[in-house]
């Protein structure tokens, strides 16, 4: 089976300062992989490199067998890759409905019906958003903004979803709801998820696989249940 994403010897950084040093991994279709590590480990940089926001200095990223080296960010969406960055980046001046419609922008005018159908599916997944569809983004709570950011990515109907710290600053009940949704989407639709998350236990409880970064390198990788039970690993790299 062709990997959903295949990363080989990936190096990248900012302004000549290296951050990632030779990252190698594969994402199997229909699985959740949790990327764990302390602040500064390189987790956000990894997602930015995969989505095309940060060009690598060395190495390769392939999606479904396609080399992404010369594929710009907007075209990666058409290949099925959606990125939800840290910080719930909704456009606060736009309504919930208009923010969601942006998720289908790449389809153009001819894809209007598909976009409308995808938005209806998001409202079924996130019922609070359905009641708030006419409300501007600046009037939403943190949890509602996170739902909207994830929902907007899902409107693109990705095959691979890159999620950066979806639980940051959220109440435990909202975090649990988002994690349950990711698990459900994997099981029901075959969505592949790469999940960067500080809430280690929540992430590993829904993940199939875990990967620990430290100073830009993969220091541990394996089944999520194995990492969850490794006390020495948690103390050394995850801070609890």
What pLDDT digit, counting tens, does each position of 125-150 carry?
Answer: 999 999 999 999 999 998 899 999 99
* Rounded CA separation 66/82 (Å): 16
pTM tops 0.85? yes
Looking at domain 28-54+71-80+158-240, its CATH class is alpha beta
For every residue of 56-101, DSSP letters joined together read -SEEEEEETTEE-TT--HHHHHHTTEEEE-TT----TTSBHHHHHH
The domain locations on the chain are 28-54+71-80+158-240, 88-157
Helices (H), 126-230: 127-131, 142-155, 172-189, 200-206, 224-228
Predicted local distance difference test score (pLDDT) of residue 139? 96
d(CA 78, CA 107): 8
Q: What is the average pLDDT across 36-47?
A: 93
pLDDT tens, residue by residue, 68-118? 998 988 889 889 999 999 876 799 999 999 999 999 887 655 567 889 999
Over the stretch 204-231, which tens digit does the pLDDT of each residue have?
A: 999 999 999 999 999 999 999 999 888 7
Pairing between strand 160-164 and 192-196? parallel
């Amino acid at each position: 089976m062709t990997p959903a994403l295949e990363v080989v010897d990936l190096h990248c950084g900012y302004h000549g300062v290296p951050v990632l040093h030779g990252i190698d991994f594969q994402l199997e279709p229909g699985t959740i992989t949790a990327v764990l590590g302390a602040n500064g480990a390189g987790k956000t940089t990894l997602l930015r490199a995969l989505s095309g926001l940060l060009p690598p200095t060395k190495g390769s990223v392939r999606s479904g067998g396609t080399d992404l080296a010369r594929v710009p960010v907007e075209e990666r969406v058409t290949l099925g890759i959606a990125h939800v960055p840290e910080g719930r980046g909704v456009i606060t001046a736009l309504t919930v409905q208009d923010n969601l419609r942006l998720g289908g922008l790449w389809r153009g005018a001819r894809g209007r019906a598909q976009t409308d159908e995808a938005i209806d599916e998001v409202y079924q997944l996130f019922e609070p958003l359905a009641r708030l569809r006419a409300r501007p983004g600046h009037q939403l709570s943190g949890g509602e903004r996170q739902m909207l950011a994830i929902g907007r990515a899902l409107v693109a109907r990705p095959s691979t979803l890159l999620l950066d710290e979806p639980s940051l600053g959220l109440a435990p009940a909202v975090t649990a709801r988002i994690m349950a949704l990711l698990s459900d989407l994997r099981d029901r639709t075959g969505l592949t998820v790469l999940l960067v998350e500080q809430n280690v236990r929540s992430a590993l409880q829904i993940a199939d696989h875990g990967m620990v970064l430290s100073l830009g390198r993969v220091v541990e990788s394996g089944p999520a249940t194995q990492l969850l039970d490794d006390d020495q690993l948690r103390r050394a790299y995850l801070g609890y």
